[in-house]
């Protein structure tokens, strides 16, 4: 019996609208990083951009590529979890 998480992670990609939103947000994060490049603690914006780009790739795949989309979704969630762990363990590296 497959789990609910497996059904969600390896479901069909959501399509063009979701992928466009993810790619635009990734471009926004990169642009905001470029704007605040003088700030040394802005590296987390690149991590957010990478996570959104991975999610955008996952949602832009054809509907028959469920496993590839699932792998990209897992990678995106892993990137975001790593950022969250860094924020908890060493908040000065993100905020300060």
- What are the sequence ranges of the domains in the chain? 4-95
Query: Could you report the per-residue pLDDT of 10-58, keeping only the tens digit for each?
Result: 777 788 899 999 999 999 999 999 888 766 778 889 999 999 999 999 9
- Kind and range of the H or E element at 50? helix 43-60
Query: Could you report the per-residue pLDDT of 50-80, keeping only the tens digit for each?
Result: 999 999 999 998 988 888 888 999 999 999 9
Residue 96: exposure state from Cβ atoms within 10 A (0-12, 13-18, ≥19): exposed
By the 8 A CB rule, do 15 and 74 touch?
no
Its pTM stands at 0.86
Eight-state DSSP code of residue 37: T
**Sorting pLDDT into bands at 50, 70 and 90, what band is 2?**
low
Question: What's residue 22's pLDDT?
Answer: 94
Per-residue CA distances from 79 to 2, 24, 29, 76 (Å): 25, 18, 15, 5
Per-residue CA distances from 23 to 27, 37, 90, 91 (Å): 6, 21, 28, 27
């Amino acid at each position: 019996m497959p789990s609910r998480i497996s059904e969600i992670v390896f479901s069909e990609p959501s399509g063009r609208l979701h992928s466009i939103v993810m790619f635009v947000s990734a471009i926004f994060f990169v642009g905001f990083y470029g704007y605040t490049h003088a700030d040394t603690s802005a590296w987390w914006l690149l991590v957010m951009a990478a996570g959104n780009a991975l999610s955008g790739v996952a949602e832009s795949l054809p509907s028959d590529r469920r496993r590839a989309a699932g792998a990209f979704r897992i990678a995106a969630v892993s990137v975001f979890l790593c950022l969250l762990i860094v924020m908890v363990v060493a908040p000065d590296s993100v905020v300060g």
